[in-house]
Chains A and B, each alone.
Chain A
């Protein structure tokens, strides 16, 4: 099983990195940019069955380690 975990700064939390990348995109002539946010992609490969228990465990892992709920949101895709 492959899992992609996406960790992004919360919408209401300042994202200095995203703002800087946004400015750079504008200076390259990229028009109409409304917002740029920079996050992380964490790729996991494992052997497990996709059960409700597994999902609960995965959510806990995302909350406790992979993201910091004070400043970040997460979502994941299971392939």
Chain B
């Protein structure tokens, strides 16, 4: 990691960070999530094409929303076999930080990086609205203490209905792996689950979009705090930085 450029207050050592946004054919929130981290948090963020076999020097991998491979077969099922996902598997196995949003969450579940699966909304409708989410005390940096008891984030999905078997759910609860729950369940998700992390605490996934909640014209600005809470898992310095 590069050292700070002290001449500019915006540049401390975090500016040496390297954030990768994966791009699959059919990803459509790649620019949104890049904008969140590059403009919202002012961190160096770049795209990595799905055919890349290496991530290069990376501190955080973002798996964006969209409809990778047209959602064919099952959402996220084909993206999982992209060359870049092998590199993500290795990166994650070494403890690297990974964050999947919406279709990115579906891809991480399909890839087995997160437990469970996402099926068709119980209403069968595509749901597009801003949801109130209750924040769970999941990690020292992802908790009501850092984010507030509730946050508001938009959702936009047809397959966000989280499913896992009973033993799996018990394990998620026991290990505090649930990050956020819907205050009013929009899709039928088991236990109102909107987002989870893996047991080790380096892989995060959620259906709601922090990347659609940080500009003044967005329905909420809670996305910045969510992005920071995820990053702070490995880089607590981010919490000291002002918005």
> Which of A14, A65, A66, A71 is in CB contact (< 8 Å) with B122?
A14
CB pair B116–A20 under 8 Å, yes or no, is no
A45-73 near B? 1/0 per residue, CB < 8 Å: 00000000000000000000110101100
Question: Judging by beta carbons under 8 Å apart, are A68 and B120 in contact?
Answer: no
Given contacts A70-B117, A71-B119, contact A14 B161 (CB under 8 A): yes
Contact A68 B121 (CB under 8 A): no
Q: How many residues of B contact A (CB 8 A)?
A: 19
Q: Tell me if B81 counts as interface (CB < 8 A to partner A).
A: yes
Q: Tell me whether B163 is interfacial, beta carbon within 8 Å.
A: yes
Evaluate contact between A68 and B77: CB separation under 8 angstroms. Answer: yes
**How far, in Å, is A60 (CB) from chain B's closest CB?**
13
Closest to A67 in B: B74
Q: Which residues of B contact A20 (CB under 8 A)?
A: 124
Interface centre among B110, B117, B123 (most CB of A within 10 A): B117
What chain B residues lie within 8 Å of A71 (beta carbons)? 117, 119, 163
State whether the Cβ of B93 lies closer than 8 Å to any Cβ in chain A. no
A54 to B177, CA, bound (A): 39
Determine if B110 and A68 form an interchain contact, defined as CB atoms under 8 angstroms apart: yes
Q: In the complex, A71→B124 CA distance in Å?
A: 17
Q: Are B164 and A65 in contact (CB under 8 A)?
A: no
Q: A16 touching B73 by the CB < 8 A rule?
A: no
Cross-chain contact B117 with A16 (CB below 8 angstroms): no
Write the nearest CB–CB distance from B127 to chain A, whole angstroms.
12
B81 in contact with A65 (CB, 8 Å) = yes
B188 at interface (Cβ–Cβ under 8 A)? yes
- Contact status A17-B124, CB under 8 Å: yes
User: Does A28 make an interface contact (CB < 8 A)?
Assistant: no
Chain B 78-115, CB-CB to A under 8 Å as 1, else 0, gives: 00010000000000000000000000000001100000
Q: Does A33 contact B (CB under 8 A)?
A: no
Q: Find out whether the CB atom of B120 lies under 8 angstroms from the CB atom of A17.
A: yes
Contacts of A12 in B (CB 8 A): 165
Q: Does A13 interact with chain B (Cβ within 8 Å)?
A: yes
- Minimum CB–CB distance for A41 against chain B, Å: 13
